[in-house]
Amino acid sequence: MSYLVLARKWRPRSFEELVGQDHVRRALTNALDSGRIHHAFLFTGTRGVGKTTIARIFAKSLNCEKGVSSRPCGECSACRDIDEGRFVDLLEVDAASRTKVDDTRELLDNVQYAPARGRYKVYLIDEVHMLSTHSFNALLKTLEEPPPHVKFLLATTDPQKLPATVLSRCLQFHLRRLPLQQIQERLTMISEAEKVEFEPAALRAVARGAEGSMRDALSLLDQVLAFGGGRVLEAEVRSLLGTLDRRHVEAILGALASDDGAALMSCVQQLDERAPDYDQALGELAASIQRMALLQALPGLRGEDEEQDIALAALAPRFSPEDLQLLYQIAIMARRDLDFAPDARGGFEMALLRMLAFRPAGASAAPAGTPRTGAKSSRGTARTDGPSAVAESAAQDRATPVRAAPAGAATSPAAELPDDWASIVPALALQGPVSQLAAHCLLAGRNRDLVRLRLDAAGESFHRPQLVDRLAQALSQYFGQAIRLEISVGEIAEDELTPARRHAMDTDERLKAAEQAIDEDPAVRAMRDVFGATVQPGSVRPLN
């Protein structure tokens, strides 16, 4: 007898066997039990989360010989044929290979005919987003008003590519990625049923590698069983997947905590002997750093891997919370940049060297071999021993962002606003309606924390409470102190120039200068004299 892969052998055959997706299961079982069954369903979600499985179970519930129910018997000929993929009234279509409109029309030509065996004729169209525009147009009318004996079950991993006209005709259910714990529990049950020797940590690594996909998890389990000769051991799983062993992670974090560069490079050398996937290695390192940050914030927190939590909880006090945040950012940014590195190991080493060299602003400079949690200093840290100290200090200065004070800003919170409101408005970097509110104002009065503005009646439409609050916030942020704002609306004399009036005047002046330049241009004059040409009014625009 030929071997049946685990993903097919352990495919759920009823809603009770389904792992996760409770929100979809509840909606479908209620619809089946109440008889309120829509004619078109759309199942969306990433690969391996159960879209086709749920569609087949739903088709079986509709055509079970014992009646429409959320609990098909699984024993009648209709249920068995659907499970084995040979039920004549369940038409499974791979839209990725049948994208042409002729294929769709051929499929829909038989919609009008009654089912041959079952109660309903069910069209299961997988990867429906691959259909062409003409195919969707051919499908629309039938999808909206199919015969009473027809049900459409559509599945896709990319619902954004579906026309809105199709989405509006379907009940849409989004299937989520499965949690790590649910995948691990399912793998444990299957391993026990298959009488496979396994380690819980190995199944956890397989579940993590599946990234929320149950089918990927079962495919990986098949691969691990072939690699390990029928056993599922943690060391072999990590070797197959290219992930870091927990001992390597703990050694790297210990070297970082001690500022021991030699030990860190020794860890890389030992790791390289196992030919790891360095992208996965950075992911494992980032996950451990994230876990340490959680254990720092919530010391009593218990997770799935208590043994690893104990080790990480012992390492966590050797890092400051700011250190962990920076190390986490370096790890995840290094994953993004790994493809641009000369080689994967070099990119991994550079990430570790950044973790070793840089610390958040305010951390102390500690000699090698001391914990990273030291006394506070006024600057970011780089190593202070050796000839590279100057270069590392300069690199640290570049790595530490410094907020530059805006031009013309006061140097103390108590400083008063300047009298020229027109010079303040551009520096506030306002956008949208709030910029128009500021541009139509003049400074009426001021003291230490109160600013009074007069608003031109031409800009009264911008005098709204939310815009006033946003302008006050911008002023407070700009001057480094809380600013209260009062705005009164009234007519402003013609000789009083608001920023909006100044801008209009500048625009008029530039337009007049452009028109004069065109009028005085020798080529234009020659065309006027020879051909009687004229410049069309309103067609001249300044270049800037």
Res. 401: pLDDT tops 50: no
List pLDDT tens digits, range 68-108: 989 998 889 999 999 888 899 998 888 888 777 887 888 88
127 DSSP 8-state letter: T
Assess whether pLDDT exceeds 90 at residue 330: yes
* 276 plus 357 within the same structural domain: yes
> Which residue type sits at 137?
N
Task: Specify whether 65 is located in the same domain as 128.
Answer: yes
pTM: 0.58
Residue 10 above 50 pLDDT? yes
Over pLDDT 90: what percentage of the chain?
A: 28
H or E, element range at 126? strand 121-126
d(CA 57, CA 63): 10
- Residues 162 and 157: their CA atoms lie apart, in Å, by 11
Instruction: Tell me, yes or no, whether 98 and 22 share the same domain.
Output: yes
- Boundary (domain end) residue, out of 341, 374, 407: 374
Strands 441-446 and 450-456: antiparallel
The CATH number given to whatever domain includes residue 227 is 1.10.8.60
pLDDT at 372: 62
**Do 132 and 274 fall into the same domain?**
no
Q: Which domain holds residue 17?
A: 6-174
CATH code, domain carrying 136 = 3.40.50.300
Q: Number of C-alpha atoms within 13 angstroms, CB side, residue 471?
A: 28
Collapsed DSSP state (helix, strand, coil) of residue 270: helix
pLDDT, residue 375, reads 38
- For residue 415, pLDDT beyond 50: no
Structural domains in the chain (count): 4
Angle between helices 306-315 and 278-297 (to 10 degrees): 80
Residue 27 has pLDDT above 90, yes or no: yes
Q: DSSP letter for 342, please.
A: S
Q: How confident is the model at residue 303 (pLDDT cuts 50, 70, 90)?
A: low
Is residue 91 helix, strand or coil? strand
List the CATH number of the domain containing 318: 1.20.272.10
Give residue 445's identity as a one-letter amino acid code. G
Q: What pLDDT, on a 0 to 100 scale, did the predictor assign at position 419?
A: 58
Report helix, strand or coil for 404.
Answer: coil
- AA letter at 97: S
The answer, yes or no, to whether residue 386 has pLDDT greater than 60, is no
- pLDDT value at residue 304: 63
Query: Are the C-beta atoms of residues 227 and 240 closer than 8 Å to each other?
Result: yes
Whether residues 272 and 357 share a domain: the answer is yes
Average pLDDT over residues 121-137: 89
**Helix, strand, coil percentages for the chain (3-state, nearest 5):** 55, 10, 40
